[in-house]
Structures are given as C-alpha cells and as structure tokens.
Amino acid sequence: MSDSETAVTTQSYLFNTGRGFQSQDYLGCHWEADDQVSFRVWAPQAQAVAVVGTFNDWQPTALTLVGTTGIWQGRLTDVQAGDLYKFQITSQRGEKQLKIDPFAQQFERKPGDAAVVLKPVARQWHDSLWLARRKKSHPENRPINIYEVHLGSWRRHDNGDYYTYAELAAELIPYAHQMGYSHVELMPVMEHLLDASWGYQQLGYFAPTSRFGTREDFLSFVDQCHQANLGVIVDWVPGHFIRNYDALYQYDGTPTYEYADPDRADNRRWGAWNFDLGKTQVQSFLISSALYWLNDCHLDGLRVDAVSNMLYLDYDEGREGQVNQYGDNRNLAGIAFLQELNTEVFQRHPDVLMIAEESSAYPQVTGRVDQGGLGFNFKWNMGWMHDTLDFFEMDPLYRHDHFNLLTFAFVYMFDEQFILPFSHDEVVHGKKSLMHKMPGDRYNQFANLRTMMTYMAAFPGKQLNFMGSEWGQFLEWRDWSQLEWVDLKDPLNHQMQQFTAALNQLYHANRPLWELDHQPAGIIYSNTDDAASSTFGFIRQAKRKYSFVVAAFNFVPVERRQYRIGVPYPGEYELLLNTEAKAFGGTWTQLETTFTAIDEPYKGQPASFEVTLPAMGALLIRPSKVKGESKK
C-alpha cells in the first residue's frame, strides 16, 4: 500500500470512528502536489456520486467509493482556482440531487451556494505577540468585556450594500478598541443564505460568509483585530442546520447528518434539522469545524449556540414526555458530544473561550468533564440578565418591593463561571432597545441606562453588550439596516457613548472588577439590605488585600445625602466614577472626589464614610491610602 493510500485509509478510519478532528484536510476539495485536484465526500448510502462544476461544464464526473468507508473520491485535471462546484448524489432510489460540499472553505455569494475551489496559500500571520500574551494567563483571571456585533448591520453603505471585511477592519476595529472593549463577538459568520436567520441557519461549517469578502479577507480581519489587541469570538451552531434540501439534509438520500427518526430530526422551534450528535461521523464533522475556526482562523473563542437544545430530549416544541433509557429527559448523546468537544478544544487551546449559551439550570455547564461537567469555561448568565432587565424596566416607585430581582443572583453567582450578557436577543422582536426599556423621560432613561451598565461592570462575571447599546440607540435592532449612527449628533447619545468608553476603560484598569470574578473572595457584602431606600452597595476585591472597589447604587430619582457606606479599612478614598457627572449627560457639575473613612463600624464593616449618592445614579470608589497599607 502506498503512502497516499495509507493516509486515505487512516483518515477514513478516524472520520468514521468519531476521531477525525481535522477532517477538512481530507474531505472536500484539495489541491494535490501534481496540480491535480482531489474531491472527497462522505455519502455512505449513495448509489453513485459525481462532481460537477465550471471545470466540466456542470457535467458529472464520477467519483469512486473507497472500500466500505462511505467516502467517494476522485482526481481531476484542468481545475482552476476560483472554479465553482457541487456534488451530484444519486440515491438508492435512483434520484439525483445536487448537494453542497459540507467541507468547503468558501462559497459563492448568495443566492448561489456552490463551493469555490481554493488554491492553498501560505498565509503570513502577524499576531504572534497577541497569541503569546493570550497564553500567559487563564481567561477567567483576565478582564473580558465583549462587544457583540452583527457584521451585516453594524454599518452599511448608503445604497444598502454590506461593508466588506476590509472596510469593517478599517472602521470596526479602531472603534471597538477606542471604546475599550477586549473582544468582539461576531454573530455567526459561517456561510448562510437567509439574512433573516442572522447566521444561525448555517450552510457552511468551514466557510466564512462570502457576503463580506473571501476567506482570506476574513482571516486578515482577525489578524488585524489581534494586532489592535482585540480578541475575536464567533457564534457557532452545532445543534441544528439549515433546512435546504441541497445542503446537509438527507445528504445521500437518507438521514446522514440528522437523526434517522424524523421527529427527532425536525427542529420545530427554529425551522431547522437537528444534528444526530451520537453519530461518530457527525462528531468528527462538528469537532473538526470547531477546531478549524480556532486553529486555522486563529479565533479566540466560540460562543456555542442553543446548548439547551442539545442537552434535553424535550426542549423543542411538541416533544413533551420524551425520556432516555434512565427515564429522564437528558439527551445523553448531546451531553457526551459537548464533553468531547470541550475536551478536544482545551487539549489543544487551553487559553481560548468556550462559551455556552444555555438557558436552563443544567448543573456544571462550566464544570470539569472528569467530574461530570460539560467542560465549558464560561456560560451566559441568562437569569441575571432577565432579572436585571425586569428590575430596570420597572417604574422606580415600585422597585423597593422587588429587590429580590437583584439579590437572587447573589445566591448562585459562583455556581458557574458566568458572562453577563445584554445580547442581541434582548433588543429585537418587539422587546425594545435597552434605552427604550428604561422608564421615565429621556433624561431619566439615560440615567437608568448608565446606572445599569455600571451595575453590570461591578457585578461578578465577565460582560457582553450588543452594538448600539453603548450610546443608547432608541430603535430596537434591525438586521436589514445599519445602526442609527445619526443618533450621535444628539448630545445625550454622544455623552452616553463617552460614558461607555470611560466605564470600559475603568473596568479594564481596575483589577478588583475582574480578577476574582468567579471566587467568593472577590466580593464583600456591605449595603445590600436597604430595599426601603432603593439603594444597594457591595465591594469588589482583587487578590491584593488593599485593592478593592466600592460600588454604590441609587435606583430612584431621589438624591441620598449623608449616605453611609461600610468599608474594610479607615483611611482615604477616591472617586473613580459618578454616573451623574455633567460630562456623561448628568447634572453634577462639581463632583465629590475624595472621602475619608473613619473607625465607625457600619453594615458589618469596621470603618465607613459618607457620600452624597446621586439620584438614579451610581458611584465607584477605591482606596487611595488606607490604614494598615504598606507605603511600599
């Protein structure tokens, strides 16, 4: 057996046994050393398979079945870079169907979905310094402040055309950097046909969408982000795929990537097909996809969409009562897949982010796999998000009776390693923008929004905000048009944007706000039991004993004078942030900038000081020289 035949046998074996985690390097379209182009596709139940494309005038060239592997292959000459192609699958019933290449790394622009032949290019990356810095510490101990972006609607040209990856690099990267974000999280950039799906109905699991340019253009965008000290996270959808019959559905004429049971295959909630996560070839396909984006595209993390759909047999509509062999509703194959996915990712990239968008109370989502957990290192805190928005949407007159919406999150905040998300899902489909959710007149809406954003920055957990919220866009998000950048001509919107930038930079510069996010030592409870006055306060602690930030909040439009705050040490303290500063759109023209804590115990703390707590506002304060702190 030749070396090439041995390689084919090995790769086929790995793919079929669920261990082929670089399957894109074998399946799909590849340029060979002799300038021939190989085509390989998995279609185990097909009667025949052929490749068609611009290189053969879309007339079928037959491929050959490789033993009992279910993989068909062939080599062609006269294929050029940029040629388009598909596979023609003949089912056992003799029906012919043109299908996409599941492993294609670039597709033609919609509405077409033919794959593009790519000639391999040795890319020169320029992000080695970023990657080296990324390896120095675990992400749990770093400041993570994510700007969630939908590339198709962040900006558009006046005629409605998309910005290209190059144009987005020129404008989005410096903007996100200037605003003080640590990462951008891109709503799915994997190839998809329907704009209205926002990318969650995916077609190509290895291909950046051609809407904005080529694969190389996308890689350049990521490279430039890293050079600007900006991480890149992308939403990834391993639970379900697009319904289109020329995509993955019944790929060889039978259920191939989806469940054989049509009821389990049908995802009614999202109008998609569910992957059969217990099938070994599907495991190879999906884990290869995840590792491709992390390895080949240098991404800093994946936000895994709709994890609950993979954890429960009865998650979808109309599936009530479905149980496994143990009599409960867990999807054992889905759980095993997620554990395998995270195990393989972190063996290769211990410094990346694997973020679960998981909406239930499933335990140990961020727990270790060897201890029964799913193995993610972060989970969106959906409970905190819903409760916080419910509280801030409420008329301040009634907030004192609903402080449990704020305090309940303290009960479970260390159960998982959380990210606090104000995501796209909360500002669409009639839910209103964050700004529009806030009660009161326009001035009070901005005051509420500034206070809520400060509450997020102070609460334990990393953070994520969707584009447009940083300046308080009033209209809810629309995927078909750009953000309302014209808002920034309004002084209040402009000042809100300046506030967000200042808050983000403050967050990054103060270790207490992120260093111990997931440890009980990272928070000290102080003024958390004064619901009657609708005020609230706590202390965030860093590893260093005397490094902490005092956070105090007033959730009603009534100024609180001589408001006492308990702190661990007497001494001198300084103001970090007053959300009601004139520069941010507030009313305070003169700020209290220094405070002296005396040996007067208060709220369980040995010392305390008084402040004027602004109406519908928040203060962040830190020690400047406290008793007991070494001069060194």
On the 0-12 / 13-18 / 19+ scale of CB atoms within 10 A, 50 is: buried
Beta bridge partners of 626: 571
The bridge status of strand 523-525 relative to strand 535-541 is antiparallel
Distance separating alpha carbons of residues 337 and 375, to the nearest angstrom: 11
Region 198-220 average pLDDT = 97
Cα 541 to Cα 70, 123, 460, 520: the distances in Å are 57, 44, 10, 10
pLDDT at 631 over 60: no
Question: 316 to each of 274, 470, 595, how far by Cα in Å?
Answer: 10, 34, 55
State whether residue 489 is helix, strand or coil.
helix
Strands 548-554 and 618-626 come out as antiparallel
- Say yes or no to pLDDT of 31 above 60: yes
Report the alpha-carbon distance of residue 201 to residue 193 in Å, rounded.
8
Q: DSSP character for 579? A: T
Per DSSP bridges, beta strands 560-567 and 266-267 are unpaired
CB neighbour list of residue 327: distance below 8 Å, 6 or more residues apart:
none
Task: Name the residues annotated as catalytic.
Answer: 305, 357
| CA distance readout (Å), 294 to 266, 350, 491 | 29, 11, 41
**Do the first three CATH levels of 3-116 and 128-513 match, i.e. the same topology?**
no
Q: Let me know: does 593 contact 617? Beta carbons within 8 Å.
A: no
Confidence grade of residue 151 (pLDDT, cut at 50, 70, 90): very high
The full set of domain ranges for the chain reads 3-116, 128-513, 520-626
Average pLDDT on 92-120 reads 96
What whole-number distance in Å separates Cα of residue 552 and Cα of residue 560? Answer: 11
Residue 100 pLDDT > 80, yes or no?
yes
Cβ 526 vs Cβ 587: under 8 Å: no
Question: Is residue 116 helix, strand or coil?
Answer: strand
| H or E, element range at 451 | helix 442-458
Q: What percent of the chain has pLDDT over 70?
A: 98
* Spatial distance between the Cα atoms of 420 and 453, rounded to a whole number of angstroms: 11
Distances from the Cα of 234 to the Cα of 222, 231, 294, 299, 444, angstroms = 11, 10, 10, 8, 35
pLDDT at 632: 43
* Mutual angle of helices 332-348 and 280-295, in 10-degree steps: 30
Residue 6 has pLDDT above 70, yes or no: no
What's residue 489's pLDDT? Answer: 97
| Residue 2 pLDDT grade (very low, low, confident, very high; cuts 50, 70, 90) | very low
Encode pLDDT of 354-371 as tens digits: 999 999 999 999 999 999
**Which tokens go with 45?**
């139940």
Instruction: Tell me which architecture the domain covering 520-626 has in CATH.
Output: Sandwich (2.60)
Q: Which residue has the tokens 């060897």?
A: 370
**Pair of tokens at residue 219:** 């890689």
**pLDDT: is 330 or 530 the higher one?**
330
Residue 137 has pLDDT above 90, yes or no: no
Beta-strand pair 84-90/48-53: antiparallel
Q: What are phi and psi of 285, to 5 degrees?
A: -60, -50
CATH code for 128-513?
3.20.20.80
> For 619, phi and psi rounded to 5 degrees?
-125, 140
Domain 3-116 has CATH 2.60.40.10: yes
Q: HEC string of 532-581?
A: HHCEEEEEEECCCCCCEEEEEEECCCCCEEEEEEEECCCEEEEEEEECCE
Omega into 111 within 30° of 0, i.e. cis? Answer: yes
pLDDT band for position 5 (50/70/90)? low
How high does pLDDT run on average in the chain?
Answer: 95
Whole-number Å distance between alpha carbons of 579 and 492? 13
The secondary structure element, H or E, covering residue 123 is none
Q: Return the pLDDT at 232.
A: 98
Nearest alpha carbon to residue 313 among 255, 239, 381, 363 = 239
Predicted confidence band of residue 630 (pLDDT cuts 50, 70, 90): low
Determine the residue type at 17.
Answer: T
Average of pLDDT values for 540-556?
Answer: 97
For position 1, what pLDDT does the model report?
45
| Separation CA 611–CA 625 (nearest Å) | 18
CA count, 13 A, side-chain hemisphere, 391 = 28
Tell me how far apart the alpha carbons of residues 383 and 105 are, in angstroms, rounded to a whole number. 37
Percent of the chain with pLDDT strictly greater than 90: 93
- pLDDT at 62 (0 to 100): 98
The alpha helices in 394-433, defined as continuous H runs, are: 404-407, 409-412
Q: By the 8 A CB rule, do 182 and 230 touch?
A: yes
